Structure 1
Amino acid sequence: MAEQKMLKFVTVQRDMPDKRPPDLRRADFNEIYADFAREKAAEQSGRCSQCGVPYCQSHCPLHNNIPDWLRLTAEGRLREAYEISQSTNTFPEICGRICPQDRLCEGNCVIEQSGHGTVTIGAVEKYINDTAWEEGWIAPIRPAQERSESVGIIGAGPGGLAAADALRRAGLQVTVYDRYDRGGGLMTYGIPGFKLEKEVVMRRMAQLEDGGVEFVMNCNVGEDISFDAIRGKHDAVLIATGVYKSRDLQGPGSGAAGIVRAIDYLTASNRVGFGDEVPEYASGELNAEGKKVVVIGGGDTAMDCVRTAIRQGAESVKCLYRRDRANMPGSQRETANAEEEGVEFVWLSAPKGFTGDAVEGVMVQKMRLGAPDVSGRQMPELIEGSDYVEDADLVIKALGFEPEDLPRLWGVEGLEVTRWGTVKAEYGTGQTSLPGVYAAGDIVRGASLVVWAIRDGREAAEAILDYVSGSASVAAE
């Protein structure tokens, strides 16, 4: 009788890939987790209970067929596991690294709910797809038939790239316009290398370019080329710019030198990792070395900033957040990693102002959690008379991102936006108020996850394919 490969969660304990020790992690920007070996990946995959209603799959924005590729990995059928993994996800090796699995698939795993410890889905996904690259299973993009219709995509982040991949495979001519000198968006310049090594993103960029996607880099729409010109050149347009406008802090001293935006700080660090010359880093403006660093915010961007500051050799790194640990929006796994590396979290604390012409300290107000708001989260309330000053000579604002005013910046009439400034787009297709213009990712849903952007990009690509095919058939009649 063949050995039962699955349902081993009772006898086999949950086990993550080895994590490098904190003292070694602090010294570089390499990824912190080792890779699974084949035997370990198969063993951990075999813990899956193969439930009839797989909550891991239903809570994944891409609805990845997780139980099937876990079973195939447990059986040693890795190439088949890869084929199923990539059938629903354009960049599975990236999602395996940076998705907050503790909030999505793994957090909803049935055996996790029953107290046995979740299946390590993210680590297995990373293993399957890294193996696929190593073994040469990932084939170049070669459309079966070229088509004449063309699509312009504004933004080379995950949403735009996912759409570019799908449209190019269908044979359409695809041009991607981006303001940066490298593609990848926040995957390249926002997320640090210790979570996502840049070669992983650049490898995908090379695959798209080799597959015939044209990239127009260092291109600011509204300055270097008009939105109308892009519409005129292409049969359809996808807006996938992401959201880059940083939320700001008010209060006395908020304009002091040494108070910087998270996006500027993380971009500088990632550019240094690429070997670029970065004057703001060399001058110390965007470099934490030897400094007392305070990061304000509690999301994933704040976690990226505190862990980057540690690696740059900060004297101390503190993270101020106005709620407590249980109510922070960032990944609990990332918070634990940060604490291991030497970050101090100052919970229930909010900035009131700043001291010094060049910042010397953050005026902190202590908070307590009061009654819940409409979302059910407890609202922070001030504790009177509890103010104090936290020493700091570099303050990083990681308060989230908002959309830029695209209709004004691009001088475009008729592009409808919501009251939050995001582009108004039809659910499931991304169709905007302008004919032939679609939108996907954060510019539609607000600051969100890479995996949601990938889903939006794939859905928009399907809708665009229908649109241009319909236009072509009308033109032929």
Structure 2
Amino acid sequence: MAANRMLKFVTTDRHMPDKRAAEDRRTDFGEIYREFAAERAAEQASRCSQCGVPYCQTHCPLHNNIPDWLRLVAEGRLREAYEVSQATNTFPEICGRICPQDRLCEGNCVIEQSGHGTVTIGAVEKYITDTAFEMGWVPAIRPRAERTESVGIIGAGPGGLAAADVLRRAGVQVTVYDRHDRAGGLMIYGIPGFKLEKDVVMRRNAQLADGGVEFRLNTEVGRDITFDEIRARHDAVIVATGVYKSRELQGDNHDAGGIVRAIDYLTASNRYGLGDDVPGFVSGELNAEGRRVVVIGGGDTAMDCVRTAIRQGASSVRCLYRRDRSNMPGSQREVANAEEEGVEFVWLTAPAGFEAGSQAAMAGGVAVSGVRVQTMRLGEPDATGRQSPEAIEGGDYVEGADLVIKALGFEPEELPTLWSKPELEVTRWGTIKADFRTHATPLDGVYAVGDIVRGASLVVWAIRDGREAADAILERFDARQAAPIAAE
């Protein structure tokens, strides 16, 4: 009987949760997708083909048991579906909202490859855990027994929080250090609310705090506490700082007023939405209202910036990207959402410099008045196989702009220098060297996870790293406890 509830992809079409109309959603920062009703979630889950080799699972960084919890949803066994989902993913309701499913699980769905349209995995994943919270099925963190070992985690982003969750459930004493005044990292201050409403993250933060995780916020390593002090306080340390150093642009007038970094722009918007006092937003320096906005970049951060500018009431929003649509790194779903909301994409264009007006800029000096745009074409593939952009001679022009947002990606900060720890080994890219499985660094008892090891990446990869590092630390602690017994 249960089998009859599956394999309905031939007779049932793919259907995403209803999306708010563009003219409605562009006026606020609420999430754009509505919740699935129970019947619709079960219907969409029933489209899963239950294939013998589930490519959705193998292409998920967490290797979530996707076919299993889809089957349980189709059978109406939602509580069991939540338990299966939570077993491999610390934050399934967050991944269901912000993972680029079109590049991961859904993009590799077998029925998608056969032309029937992928199962709406992300939407069902979100529905499962949201329902679990509403029904009170999400248990508090209550370790069966407390352990004496302690772990210090530097960084309260997804990697650090995932590690804290695993370690605390095992009874380890956990302290999380973060420079910001709220835990969550880019999930709070980088990702806009229309993709991830902040109460979803804060709900998990509260669960961790209630479960015994100590948060030491407004604490910057190297300024308020040294790295060596943290090592001395704990039996192991996890570095999960992420990467926040923005890549820069050069060229004429690159330092003109009105040219800002994406991280500053998004942080100001999110802080303002959280009710914080944000002088840069109020002054207009980091506010797109009434301005001609140009965003430079083609990744997910650029998509966050253009869609935020629309909601702030920009007079126009254009996104410049040096390759074409099919070669951009950002989610195609996000591009489509942005276009619906009024964003114009200008493909095969790159900045060659900036025009500056004579009026005083908000920070002094002159203000940007335009971007000198160089038109491009795609040439021969580079070492990665992607076609390299080449400038077209004589194809430059000026794009008028009052606010230019640089969304060119992020690089790691120089942690060995900032932390006065030259023996903390880094790669030639500045990322920390760590074992790919245990995430241990050459420094004894020090581990590193997430973007500070991988470079700018996805939340789901950080969650995986955090969970794996926590497991490795628990193995280390257990081996230490067993050593005296073995010696006897």
- TM-score for both structures, normalised by structure 1: 0.99
Structure 1 residue 467: deviation in Å? 1.8
Q: Distance in 2 between matches of 1:8 and 1:475?
A: 57
CA distance in 2 between partners of 1:281 and 1:306 (Å): 16
Secondary structure of the residue that 2:4 maps to in structure 1? coil
1:362 equivalent in structure 2: 371
Amino acid at match of 1:363: R
1:258 matches 2:267: no
How far did 1:466 drift? 1.5
Hey, what's the Cα distance between the residues in 2 that align with 1:41 and 1:369? Answer: 42
Superposed CA deviations along residues 414-467 of structure 1, whole A, max 9, x for unmatched, are 211011000000011110010000000000000000000000000000111122
Q: Alpha-carbon deviations, 1:47-80, whole Å to 9, x = none?
A: 0000000000000000000001000000000000
Q: Which amino acid aligns with 1:384?
A: E
Question: How far, CA to CA, are the matches of 1:260 and 1:472 in structure 2?
Answer: 52
1:395 lines up with 2:404 in the alignment: yes
Match of 1:440 among 428, 449, 452: 449
1:267 alignment partner in structure 2 = 267
Distance in 1 of aligned mates of 2:98 and 2:132: 18
Distance in 1 (alpha carbons) for counterparts of 2:291 and 2:89:
41
Q: Distance in 2 between matches of 1:72 and 1:54?
A: 16
Aligned-pair CA distance for 1:286: 0.3
Task: Kindly indicate whether the alpha-carbon contact (under 8 Å) linking 2:251 and 2:354 is maintained by their aligned counterparts in 1.
Answer: yes
Residue 469 of structure 1 deviates from its aligned partner by 2.7
State the distance in 2 between where 1:253 and 1:471 align: 59
Q: Distance in 2 between matches of 1:223 and 1:160?
A: 20
Q: Quick one: structure 1 residues 250 and 469, their matched pair in 2 at CA, closer, same or farther if it must change by over 3 Å?
A: same
Sort the Cα spacing of 1:46 and 1:252 in 2 relative to 1 into closer, same or farther, 3 A. same
> What secondary structure, in the 3-state scheme, does the structure 1 residue paired with 2:122 have?
helix
Aligned partners of 2:484 and 2:377: how far apart in 1?
Answer: 64
Structure 1 residues 127-162: Cα deviation after superposition (integer angstroms, max 9, x where no partner) = 000000000000000000001100000000000000
Distance 1:469 1:88 in 2: 22
1:417 aligns with 2:443: no
- What does residue 57 of structure 1 align with? 57
Say what the alpha-carbon RMSD is for the aligned residues. 1.0
Tell me the residue number matched to 2:93.
93
Could you tell me how far apart the structure 2 residues matched to 1:242 and 1:473 are?
34
> What is residue 126 of structure 1 aligned with on the other side?
126
CA distance in structure 1 between the partners assigned to 2:168 and 2:136 by the alignment: 20
2: distance between equivalents of 1:54 and 1:465?
Answer: 30
Moved over 2 A (4+): 468-477
Question: Paired residue for 1:138?
Answer: 138
Q: What's the secondary structure of 2:5's corresponding residue?
A: coil
Q: 1:469 aligned to 2:478?
A: yes
Change (3 A) 1:177 1:170: same
> In the alignment, is residue 313 of structure 1 matched against residue 303 of structure 2?
no
Identity %: 77
Mapped to 1, the partners of 2:6 and 2:482 lie a distance apart of 50
For 1:243, the equivalent position in structure 2 comes to: 243
User: What is the CA–CA distance in structure 2 between the aligned matches of 1:412 and 1:121, rounded to whole Å?
Assistant: 44
Contact 1:349 1:365 in 2 (8 A): yes
Instruction: Judge conservation of contact 1:307–1:343 (CA < 8 Å) in 2.
Output: yes
Give distance in 1, aligned partners of 2:172 and 2:469: 14
What amino acid is aligned across from residue 289 of structure 1 in structure 2? E
Alpha-carbon contact 1:159-1:456 (below 8 Å) kept: yes
Question: Counterpart of 1:14 in structure 2: which amino acid?
Answer: R
Aligned-pair CA distance for 1:3 = 7.5
Cα contact 2:154–2:177 (8 A) shared by 1: yes
Paired residue total: 477
The answer to whether the Cα contact below 8 Å between 1:436 and 1:467 also exists between their aligned partners in 2 is no
Partner of 1:460, secondary structure, is helix
Q: Which residue number corresponds to residue 458 of structure 1?
A: 467
CA distance in 2, matches of 1:150, 1:475: 20
Please give the alpha-carbon distance, in whole angstroms, between the structure 1 residues aligned to 2:438 and 2:235: 16
Provide Cα deviations, 1:92-144, integer angstroms capped at 9, x if missing partner.
00000000000000000000000000000000000000000000000000000
Partner of 2:328: 328
User: Which secondary structure does the structure 1 equivalent of 2:24 belong to?
Assistant: helix
Q: Is the 8 A contact 1:143 1:171 kept in 2?
A: yes
Q: Distance in 1 between matches of 2:247 and 2:480?
A: 41
In 2 relative to 1, CA 2–249 (structure 1 residues): closer, same or farther, beyond 3 Å?
A: closer
Deviates more, 1:1-10 or 1:276-285: 1-10
Query: Could you tell me how far 1:475 is from its partner in structure 2?
Result: 6.8
Could you list the runs of 5+ residues in structure 1 that have no partner in the other structure?
Answer: none
Counterpart amino acid of residue 152 in structure 1: G
Aligned residue type for 1:256: A
Matched, 1:108 2:117: no
What SS is found at the alignment partner of 1:386?
A: strand
Question: Contact 1:236/1:468 (CA < 8 Å) preserved in 2?
Answer: no
Q: What is the distance in 2 between the residues matched to 1:9 and 1:203?
A: 35
Equivalent pair of 1:299/1:329 in contact (CA under 8 Å): yes
Does structure 2 conserve the Cα–Cα contact (< 8 Å) formed by 1:69 and 1:84? yes
Structure 2 residue runs without a partner (length 5+): 357-365
Aligned to 2:300: 300
Aligned to 1:159: 159
Q: Deviations over 1:244-286 (max 9, x none)?
A: 0000001111000000000000000000111111000000000
Maintained 8 Å contact 2:264/2:286: yes
Q: CA deviation at 1:471?
A: 3.3
Structure 2 counterpart SS, 1:360: strand
CA distance in 2, matches of 1:325, 1:2: 42
Paired position in structure 2 for 1:168: 168
Q: How far did 1:371 drift?
A: 0.3
Does the residue aligned with 1:11 lie in a helix, a strand or coil? coil
1:416 maps to amino acid: E
Q: Against the structure 1 CA distance between its residues 2 and 203, is the aligned structure 2 distance closer, same or farther, given a 3 Å change threshold?
A: closer
> What letter corresponds to residue 399 of structure 1 in structure 2?
L
User: Counterpart of 1:4?
Assistant: 4
Partner residue, 1:71: 71
Inter-partner Cα distance in structure 2 for 1:40 and 1:110: 21
